[in-house]
Structure 1
Amino acid sequence: MSATASFAVPTAHGPKDVTVSYARVGRGDPLVLLHGIGHHRQAWDPVVDILATEREVITVDLPGFGASPALPDDLAYDLPTTNSVLGALFEALELDRPHIAGNSLGGLLALELGREKLVRTVTALSPAGFWTEAERRYAFTLLLAMRGIAQRMPVPLVERLSRTAAGRTALTSTIYSRPGRRAPEAVVAETRALASAVGFEATLRAGATVRFTDGLPGLPVTVAWGTQDRILVRRQGVRAKRLIPHARLVRLPGCGHCPMNDDPALVARVILDGSR
């Protein structure tokens, strides 16, 4: 069930109030799921029911995305701020070092929370930050183009396109390798979420200088990459393995940038294995 949590985040200028939207389901060890830039927590819907058979699953709308309002004007959408926000959210929800899994931006955030020792295990699906400068520019150009198209497209047109597999392919083939599997209502919702994400540009600007440079000693880490990822190409997974030598590197055959939709059973198994 959808809920919100409001809490104070410590800053150099005093505590700031932040509100985050989330959903919580299942029983077992807590597992937090973080989405990518421009997406929302419903990106995880294809795997939530499977995960909830063994975990208490908490899906989160990052600040400025989905149903979560923007950060206060004087807070940046950078890694230190987001770490503080998510750490404060864990406290508000009484989560003591949960397991965490993230996709794209969410994967990078999951790794950073691991670095801060705020989580027990990390599973990162196509995480950001392992790019070369050319790969980063390519990914950001593609993301900005997707955002621009979503903002210009009238909702009735999105709804009409989503009713057919060909239309869903036109709308979402950049992030899914099997877009026809996505439910029409989900395609409409995520297209609107991309168009209305108030934190999009600020998050993208903050990411321009981000580069993952060292490992996470002592923490179980799984890095998984779809073989059909069109945004963050799969060779970045090999780079991640070099930087985090003890990480388990998993190949996701036939999956795109958001593999949860392309192969829910495989992704759920990877996350559950990584959080044992």
Structure 2
Amino acid sequence: MAGAVLNHIRRGSGSPLLLVHGLGAGWNSWSPILDELAEHREVIAVDLPGFGETPPLSGDISIATLTDSVENFIRDQGLDGVSTAGQSMGGRIVLELARRGVGGDTVALDPGGFWSDREVAVFGATLRPSIALVRALRRGLPALLDSAVGRTLLLAQFSARPWALSRETVLPDVRGLADSPSTGAAMDALTKGPKQEGAPAGTVPGRVTIGWGRRDLVTVPGQAARATALFPDAKLHWFERCGHFPQWDAPREATRLILDNTK
């Protein structure tokens, strides 16, 4: 596999915190909480290969190879032992890093990879049409997301309260779903690749915290039990009245969870 140099931003000062996004905007997915995190930490937020400004991988695109790219970034940047936080696909990637013994404390928000066969089939069958829709509506997305009705129609799968969100909060991720060259390949990796493996008790390098939205319609709440069974050292936190994006629906709570459970 040919590696990709990950585009990234650094903000703030203090102990480093590495942020890994899910499908969508690249590092901009963290914009709702990035500034507050950077008041307390040196935040390093990456664009995964094929998202944001990082070029796609030239070889196989899988959760394993995407995780390899982050592991190589950690090594190349001298970030051994860095605390990590990820959401959705990024949540799965930071858990995979922890399973490999890479990094330090880990916070995974609504991670993928813990579904049953039926749930992953539903995930693919519902999210693929959503991606096709935002691609078809690409030019009109800003105007559509200006409207509370438009946000509700377009984002009900992702947010517990889409009408209450601002266009600025959601537009980067929605536009990223439409524009990112690796969206389709990453969806295939999630839906057709292996499920997430676990880490026996005492084998992860730091604390593991898993946060889950009670109203998540993408990685549904029942999957949290599988995640904590596979990662028995993990602490589970529930976000009430929250969908798949805690940084959208519960930004202050998500920020606090990350800061309180990493060092």
Deviation at 1:17, TM superposition (A): 4.9
What SS class does the counterpart of residue 103 from structure 2 fall into?
coil
Query: What amino acid is the match of 1:231?
Result: V
Deviation at 1:190, TM superposition (A): 2.5
Q: Which whole-Å CA distance do the structure 1 matches of 2:170 and 2:245 have between them?
A: 13
| Correspondence for 2:225 | 238
Query: What amino acid is the match of 1:34?
Result: V
| Correspondence for 2:142 | 159
Deviation at 1:147, TM superposition (A): 0.8
Q: Are 2:33 and 1:50 aligned? A: no
* Kept in 1: contact 2:246–2:254 (CA 8 A): yes
Deviation at 1:154, TM superposition (A): 4.1
Deviation at 1:144, TM superposition (A): 0.6
Deviation at 1:122, TM superposition (A): 0.9
What SS class does the counterpart of residue 166 from structure 1 fall into?
helix
* Kept in 1: contact 2:159–2:248 (CA 8 A): yes
Q: Deviations over 1:218-273 (max 9, x none)?
A: 43110110011011110111221122222101110011101111111111111112
Deviation at 1:186, TM superposition (A): 4.2
| Correspondence for 2:257 | 270
* Kept in 2: contact 1:28–1:54 (CA 8 A): yes
Deviation at 1:120, TM superposition (A): 0.4
Q: Where does the alignment leave 5 or more consecutive residues of structure 1 unmatched?
A: 1-10
* Kept in 2: contact 1:181–1:261 (CA 8 A): no
Q: Are 2:237 and 1:221 aligned? A: no
Within 5 Å, which residues of 2 pair with 1:113-128?
113-128=97-112
What SS class does the counterpart of residue 84 from structure 2 fall into?
strand
* Kept in 1: contact 2:106–2:208 (CA 8 A): yes
Cα RMSD, aligned residues only = 1.7
Q: Structure 1 residue runs of 4+, over 6 Å off?
A: none
Structure in which a larger fraction of residues adopt strand:
1
**CA separation of 1:17 and 1:102: change in aligned 2, threshold 3 A:** closer
Of 17, 22, 31 in structure 2, the residue corresponding to residue 31 of structure 1 is: 17
Identify the range of structure 1 (100-109 vs 53-62) with the bigger mean alpha-carbon deviation: 53-62
Q: Which whole-Å CA distance do the structure 1 matches of 2:165 and 2:53 have between them?
A: 20
Identify the range of structure 1 (136-145 vs 220-229) with the bigger mean alpha-carbon deviation: 136-145
**CA separation of 1:91 and 1:242: change in aligned 2, threshold 3 A:** closer
Q: Which whole-Å CA distance do the structure 2 matches of 1:106 and 1:78 have between them?
A: 13
Q: Where does the alignment leave 5 or more consecutive residues of structure 2 unmatched?
A: none
- The structure with higher relative contact order (CA 8 Å, sep 6+) is 2
Q: Which whole-Å CA distance do the structure 1 matches of 2:96 and 2:70 have between them?
A: 11
Deviation at 1:164, TM superposition (A): 1.9
Query: What amino acid is the match of 2:99?
Result: R
What SS class does the counterpart of residue 266 from structure 1 fall into?
helix
* Kept in 2: contact 1:123–1:223 (CA 8 A): yes
* Kept in 2: contact 1:76–1:202 (CA 8 A): no
What is the TM-score of this pair, normalised by structure 2?
0.92
| Correspondence for 1:184 | 167
Deviation at 1:38, TM superposition (A): 3.1
Deviation at 1:139, TM superposition (A): 1.0
Identify the range of structure 1 (23-32 vs 160-169) with the bigger mean alpha-carbon deviation: 160-169
| Correspondence for 2:6 | 20
**CA separation of 1:132 and 1:17: change in aligned 2, threshold 3 A:** closer
Identify the range of structure 1 (211-220 vs 245-254) with the bigger mean alpha-carbon deviation: 211-220
Q: What's the % identity of the aligned pairs?
A: 33
